[in-house]
Amino acid sequence: MKIQIINGPNLNLLGVREKSIYGNTNFETYLDELKKRYPNIELSYYQSNVEGEIINKLHEIGFSYDGIVINAGAYTHTSIAIADAIAAINTPVIEVHISNVYKREEFRHNSMLAASCKGVIAGFGMDSYRLAIENILA
| Nearer to ligand DQA (CB atom), residue 99 or residue 116 | 99
Considering only 4, 47, 76, 79, the residue that binds ligand DQA (CB under 6 A) is: 76
What is the full DSSP assignment across 64-131?
T-SEEEEE-GGGGGT-HHHHHHHHHSSS-EEEEESS-GGGS-GGGS--SSGGGSSEEEESSTTHHHHH
User: Within a 13 Å sphere around the CA of 42, how many CA atoms are in the beta-carbon half?
Assistant: 7
* Minimal distance, residue 63 CB to ligand DQA, in Å: 25
Say whether 22 is catalytic. Answer: yes
**Type of residue numbered 56:** N
Which residue(s) pair with 120 in the sheet?
95
Catalytically annotated residue among 30, 46, 65, 97: 97
Q: Does 50 bind ligand DQA (CB under 6 A)?
A: no
For residues 95 and 125, give the distance between their C-alpha atoms in angstroms, rounded to a whole number: 13
Say whether 65 is catalytic. Answer: no
| Nearer to ligand DQA (CB atom), residue 1 or residue 50 | 50
The number of residues that bind ligand DQA (CB under 6 A) is: 10
User: Site residues (CB under 6 A) for ligand DQA?
Assistant: 10, 71, 73-74, 76, 97-99, 101, 108
Q: Which residues form the catalytic set?
A: 22, 97
